[in-house]
Amino acid sequence: MAMGCEPFDWWVLSWFSLVPLWLLINNNTSVRKNLIMGLVWGLGYHGLTISWILGIHPMTWLGVPWLASLLIALVCWLLISLWGASLVILWTMAMTFFQVNESRLPYCRVFVKIIIGTAIWSGLEQLYSLTPLWWSSLSLTQSPHNLTILQLGTISGPLTITAALVVINGLIAEAIIMYQVKQKKNSQILILTAILCYGFFSGVGWLLYQRPLSSEKALKIGLIQGNIRNEIKLNPEGFTKAIEGYTTGYNQLAKEGVQLVITPETALPFFWDSLTKYGSFYPAVKQAGIPVILGAFGSINNDYTNSLFMIDAEGKIMGIYDKSKLVPLGEYIPFEEILGKIIQRLSPLKTRLRAGKNNQIIESPFGKVILGICYESAYPEIFRRQTRAGGEYIVTASNDAHYSLAMPAQHNAQDVMRAIENDRWAARVTNTGYSAIVTPRGDVIWRSSLNTYTTHTATIYTQDTKTLYVRFGNWLTVLLLGLAGVLYKIFESKKKI
């Protein structure tokens, strides 16, 4: 399953990678055995998918000794993998408990079981997406390459794709079970059903992919990828390189006639007041008069905020977007009152980062803009809320320089899904790559190289459409859970667990 994700891109494997786990827990009433199998499968999927976190080693530039850095990286990777694996454990436990009676309408029983399994997995992903730690939805395995299936995200978000994956895996698994008990005809029917279901999902996705792209409200934007290594980002060398690089890039893009310049997360790692008094960037904005979305630090009650400043043509702040989903351990310590005494943040910042509010919406000179900073790309509700409030185009600003090269590829895949779900053009701008331009259908029409200084001009389009997902959220998951509850009561097993 993990090899469906970037950088492997073997997304076809994901359509039958859940089958072994489904077979192993079938009619197995041993809670202990199912727990172990869920743990192993979950560690395999989530552990490999987020193995890029090991790229934080070595942290010698933070003053952490090499061996201690390795240990910290391994512990972080293991803890995050276990958190992801806990979702799979809960699913196997639920499937152990919610047995259905095999003696009543055995063929119907198969479909009831698949609906229950799909509803529970989708419900768990929805629940986990509300927590501070989330990344590896099953839907991520299809992005960015299986664009027809990804269009299903416009219906009910990424959980639509997750549900499709679980349904197909369940049908294949149940076909194998039927074959094992000598019901070859029923087995063949289930395989045919799986093929027809995949064809139906792909057909619906293909039709959605044919929707026309907006060509009315054009916006010429310019992106600057500063390519400043984290090791120097917050010292005098990094400050000088940032001001010079972003000022040069801004002036170049202004000459190319862009209407809006966009910079990455903390492109200029200063407070706004400092930027207006020192350096060459702010005078360049005042002189050229081109609005800019600038990544810098804000403050709330003497704490830092990781912010994007919407600066108008006169150099005035139109709005400030503060990152609301902070990175655990990197930007804040969970349960800080307890753990803060024994764990320090893996960050060069000497003060706390404060999370922004959940109801932010920012005006730009070209309409409301949907903003996300780095880790927020994994949280579709952040983008849906802003789109529903009138956001007309997406801008995500990131700095993925902390991790291995697999991370920016997966991060780009997250942003592709957000563009499709909200039916919006998206500009992704990063410190070291991948920066990208994504259409509302998920096509990446430009992507930067890694670890290079880059400026790029592109034309995107603002629009005000609202998909089913934007209007009604994860309605399909609610429907599946309700249907699963009703069907379980009808087919409830009397077998004791």
- Residue 265 known to be catalytic: yes
CB burial readout 368-407, b (16+ within 10 A) else e: bbbbbbbbbbbbbebbbbbbbeebbbbbbbbbbbbbbbbb
The Cα–Cα gap between 197 and 279 comes to 59
Nearest CA to 312 out of 360, 271, 261, 272 is that of 261
Q: Is 69 left (phi over 0), alpha (psi -120 to 50) or beta?
A: alpha
The Cα–Cα gap between 478 and 101 comes to 24
- Residue 185 known to be catalytic: no
Is 293 in contact with 320 (CB distance < 8 Å)? no
Active-site residue identified among 6, 174, 265, 421: 265
Phi, psi of 225 (to 5 degrees): -105, 105
CB burial readout 458-475, b (16+ within 10 A) else e: bebbbbeebbebbebbbb
Nearest 5 degrees, angle CA 322-CA 327-CA 333?
105
The Cα–Cα gap between 154 and 157 comes to 6
Active-site residue identified among 6, 325, 331, 374: 374
The Cα–Cα gap between 29 and 35 comes to 11
Nearest CA to 423 out of 384, 474, 367, 459 is that of 384
Q: Which helix (H) or strand (E) holds 66?
A: helix 66-97
Nearest CA to 399 out of 459, 339, 349 is that of 349
End-to-end CA distance of the chain: give it in Å, rounded. Answer: 29
CB burial readout 171-202, b (16+ within 10 A) else e: bbbbbbbbeeeebeebbebbbebbeeebeebb
Active-site residue identified among 113, 323, 325, 368: 323
Q: Which helix (H) or strand (E) holds 457?
A: strand 454-462
Beta bridge partners of 372: 396
Task: Return the SS3 of 88.
Answer: helix
The Cα–Cα gap between 112 and 116 comes to 6
The Cα–Cα gap between 145 and 10 comes to 9
Counting DSSP H helices and E strands in the chain, the numbers are 17, 12
What the block records as the tokens of 298 is 């804000």
For residue 455, how many other CB atoms are within 10 A of its CB?
A: 21
Is 114 in contact with 174 (CB distance < 8 Å)? yes
Catalytic sites, residue numbers: 265, 323, 374
